[in-house]
Amino acid sequence: MSTTAPASPLAGLWHGPVVDADVHIAPPSVEAIFPYLDEVWREFAMERGFGEGTWNATSVTNTLPPNSPITTRADWRPDDGRPPASDLELLNRQVLEPYGTEMAVVTCYYGIDALRHPDYAAAMASAVNDWMVAEWLEADERLRGSLVLPAHDPVAMAAEIDRLGGHPRIRQIFLPIRSEHLYGRRTYLPVFEAAARHGLVCGLHFGGSSDGPPTPVGFPSWYMEEYAGATQLYFSQIMSIIAEGLLQRFPSLKFAVLEGGFLWLPGIMWRLDKEWKGLRRDIPWVDRPPSSLVREHFRFSVAPVDAGPPEHMAVQIDHLGADDMLMFATDYPHDHQRGLEELIGVLPQATLENMMYRTARDLYGD
Amino acid sequence: MSNQQLETAATATAAKDRELRIVDCDAHNWPLPGDLAPYLSKRWQQYLETFGLRTPAEVGLVRAKPLASRTDAWSPNGNVPGNDPAFFREDLLERHGIDLAILNSLAMAQQSVVGGNQPVEFTAELMRAANEWTQDYFLEADDRLYSSICCAFEDPQLALPEVERWGADPRWLQVLFPFRTQRPIGNRKYWPIFEVAENHDLLIAFHPGSMGNNLISGAGWPSFYYEDHVGYPGALMAQVASLITEGVFERFPNLKVVFQEGGWSWTAPYSWRLDRAFEQLRDEVPHLRRKPSEYMRDHFWFTSQPIEEPERRGQFEEALAVFGGADRLLYSSDYPHWDFDPPDQALPKSLDPAIAEAIMSRNAVRLYGFEGGGA
């Protein structure tokens, strides 16, 4: 524990409960998850160099450039060479204490979705989840967990959800937006059936490994291009989940849209509604304007804000048409806290209170 | 356009400058293979006869209507929509009082939907034939009609002669691309086309359409046409990011881009996202000298159809203010497609008449230089 509490990053912005909807954790090394892994997969990981000491397992995924200023905020990069976000004491000192967090939803991404070997992927996902439960969730009662899944095998995904979904501190499944298929497609029914069975939130998050390029027009050249363009993926996933009738099939399902922005949503909701008027006979199970399904079933983290001019942000917030769609998040250790002050400056009081704790407390709380 | 071309354009249109009240920036004519065959070289005429045109790679995504078109757009003699020049003029221009229309030939689909499924030389021939058919049967028949240039854009060596051929003619305004190209459109592969376009003051225009080689989303295929149609902005987001980050507007500072049918209200928030990414990642892209939102403000125009329909009165105007005003919006009908917007129903009734007038004609007149002076 830190002896001197640093000043709250929220000083002057917010005094009240804080729930953090998106916090990342990582094993300090792949050996840290070995106690939760069978011998054969330990040999796999050792021999093939899983992780290579970088926090997001870049030996198997290229989702985040390890040294990018967005990937890890400079003052959250440990100066002793350890991977960022790999230590509970560090998380406590860097985030939970300064923000006064009452509850944080943690995810260990670790590039598991990039593994193509079906048995290795399932074993690694289980090991990461068991490690998270034992060494984080059970060590700090403020933490709730998000299950990482073997993303290329929906049956194995459902099995992992059933294996751990009953744990009282597991509150979410982690679904990277670059999936092999759009999540609304019937291929994934076992996954959402399992999530609904255990009352887990479905967290759509940046990252993943599809069977094609990350854009509809091929591979981008620049990381900035790919990163900013991810809005397309969030948009397509939300649209697929709505169009396929997943929300009619599982009316209790809730989705958290994490690290995807939200200011782009109003015009997209109008478009979803307008085209539904013209084309709904193709998707007759969508019995309400899609915008009302977005408002009921989707919640959005505000890290990053992707802030614009305050008066224009205020219009976008108003056009969301609901005061309970946003959730505060740090997205630790990513450098995604910028713009929060500008955002808070334009939020109505009720929206602010919902954003800082109520919406996420309702979604993830006990 | 060069000054000389501008003068030619001015002469051609001066007489009716005052009458340009409605300019339709996206209407479709549509040549069938039988229309194109006479224009093809012997070699490709034979190829067409022997093998025919293959079905689109995306035929499995069931459209809303046959040819995605209005039932009443088939001409009385049974021609497919956009195929009969006389009926096209009567049904679109006369019936709706449209003073000038820009044709985006659906021949583009004859290359884009088949993707890599046909020889690129054949594609280039088809595009040349389509342009000549448009010239002969539409532009020469009616001076209210202008056109986009179809070309084999995936092979710029083959595309360039076609762009050069029409580039100096004031009736040919822009190079037509589908939303989904093989590579992100800012890729250097396409720069030779941009160079010629900029030299001729041609715009580059993007219209829905597909490329067999890429998926509709970055996470695979949707199941429903609804998703394809709603999702148009998705591909455009990737194209915006590509054009900006690759430095296309540093290399071609006068290049102008028109997005058709993709909406506009998402663009400002998306440009904020690009700006914030640029602040943190600018070391990666030192070739950019301006903020992404500034490139967006100066280089992109948007056609109106399908127009944004917000939920509450007043939100359209608010969205317009966030977008940055109405000067980059261009009326379009999308004739003859099922979601056609007639000019009297294209904009909210509440809209300030001066703004409506700008969208219906003045912005297009400035952008394309119909008055002879350009913007």
- A chain contacts of residue B184, beta-carbon cutoff 8 Å: 215, 217-221, 225
Three-state secondary structure call for residue A255 = strand
Cα angle A144-A149-A152, degrees, rounded to a multiple of 5: 160
| Tokens standing for residue A226 | 């790919």
Is residue A2 a part of any domain in this protein? no
Q: Which residue of B has its CA nearest to A222?
A: B245
Residue A6 domain-assigned (yes or no): no
The pLDDT value given to residue B112: 62
**A235/B272 Cβ within 8 A:** no
Give residue B146's pLDDT: 98
Which DSSP category does B220 fall into?
B
Domain of A134, in residue numbers: 18-364
Domain presence at residue A51: yes
- Within 8 A of B324 by CB-CB distance, chain A residues are none
Task: Work out the average pLDDT over A36-42.
Answer: 96
* pLDDT per position as a tens digit, A182-210: 999 999 999 999 999 999 999 999 999 88
CATH of the domain at A244: 3.20.20.140
Distance between the two ends of chain B, CA-based, in angstroms?
12
Structural domain contains residue A12:
no
Would residue A94 count as lying in a domain?
yes
Beta-bridge mates of residue A24:
A107
Q: How far, in Å, CA of B113 to CA of B60, rounded?
A: 12
Return the SS3 of A174. Answer: strand
Number of domains composing chain A: 1
A218 vs B181: CB contact, 8 Å cut-off?
Answer: yes
Average pLDDT over residues A285-295: 98
| A152 found inside a domain | yes
pLDDT at B58: 62
Binary contact (A273, B221; C-beta < 8 A):
no
What is the per-residue pLDDT for A51? Answer: 63
Those residues whose C-beta lies under 8 Å from the C-beta of residue A80, and which sit 6 or more positions away, are: none
- Per-10-residue mean pLDDT of chain B, 375 residues long, equals 49 55 97 95 96 72 84 94 97 97 88 70 94 98 97 94 97 95 95 98 92 82 94 97 98 98 98 97 97 98 97 97 96 97 96 97 96 39
Alpha-carbon dihedral A100, A106, A109, A113, rounded to 10 degrees: -150
B-proximal residues of A, 53-92, CB under 8 Å: 68-70
| Mean pLDDT (whole number) for A264-279 | 97
Please, what is the average pLDDT of chain A? 93
Q: A96-120: per-residue pLDDT in tens?
A: 999 999 999 999 988 888 888 999 9
Give the per-residue pLDDT at B43: 98
A235, A263, A274 member nearest B272 (Cβ) = A263
- The verdict on A32 touching B (C-beta cutoff 8 Å) is no
Distance CA B104, CA B148 (A): 5
- Asked if residue A4 belongs to a domain, the reply is no
Chain A, 179 to 218: residues with Cβ < 8 Å from chain B are 179-185, 208, 210-218
CB B205 within 8 A of CB B236: no
Partners of A282 on chain B (C-beta within 8 Å) are 62, 64, 224-226
pLDDT tens, A137-170? Answer: 999 999 999 999 999 999 999 999 999 999 999 9
Pairwise CB contact (< 8 Å): A235 & B233:
yes
Contact A319 B319 (CB under 8 A): yes
Output b/e per residue, A81-118; b: 16+ Cβ within 10 A.
ebbbbbbbebbbebbbebbebbbbbbbbbbbbbbbeee
Contact status, residue B166 vs residue B128, Cβ threshold 8 Å: no
- Answer whether residue A10 is part of any domain: no
State the sign of the Cα–Cα–Cα–Cα dihedral A154, A155, A157, A161: positive
B226 to A68: CB separation less than 8 angstroms, yes or no: no
User: What local confidence, expressed as pLDDT, does residue A55 receive?
Assistant: 41
Whole-structure pTM value? 0.94
Minimal Cβ distance to A182: which of B211, B219, B264:
B219
A154 part of contact set with chain B, CB < 8 Å = no
Burial class (CB in 10 A: 0-12, 13-18, 19+), A354: buried
What is the reported pLDDT for A59? 41
A53 pLDDT above the threshold of 60: no
Query: Would you call A282 an interface residue with chain B, using a CB distance cutoff of 8 Å?
Result: yes
Q: Express each pLDDT in A298-340 by its tens digit.
A: 999 999 999 999 999 999 999 999 999 999 999 999 999 999 9
Length of chain B: 375
> Is A306 close to B219, i.e. CB distance below 8 A?
no
H or E stretch at A172:
strand A170-178
Which of B20, B27, B6 has its CA nearest to residue B369?
B6
ipTM score of complex: 0.95
A275/B308 CB distance under 8 A: no
pLDDT of residue B114: 57
B245, A275: Cβ pair inside 8 Å?
no
Q: pLDDT digit string (tens) for B157-198?
A: 999 999 999 999 999 999 999 999 989 999 999 999 999 999
Count A/B contacts: CB-CB distance under 8 Å: 256
Q: Do B238 and A220 count as a contact with CB atoms less than 8 A apart?
A: yes
Closest residue to B181, CB basis, from A217, A274, A308: A217
Tell whether the model's pLDDT for residue A215 goes beyond 70. yes
In the block, which residue shows the tokens 């598991």? Answer: A112
Contacts of A219 in chain B (CB under 8 A): 183-184
Instruction: Look up residue A12 and give its two tokens.
Output: 């002057």
Question: What chain A residue is nearest to B244 in terms of C-alpha separation?
Answer: A225
Decide if A274 touches B, using CB distance below 8 A: yes
Is A130 at the interface with chain B, CB within 8 A? no
pLDDT at A83: 87
pLDDT (0 to 100) of residue A57: 46
The pLDDT assigned to B118 comes to 84
pLDDT for residue A6: 63
Q: Mutating which of A71, A183, A221, A225 best tests the B interface, going by the most B Cβ atoms within 10 A?
A: A225
Q: Do B322 and A307 touch (CB under 8 A)?
A: no
Would you call A215 and B218 a contact, using CB atoms and an 8 Å cutoff?
Answer: yes
Instruction: Give the tokens for residue B299.
Output: 């280089």
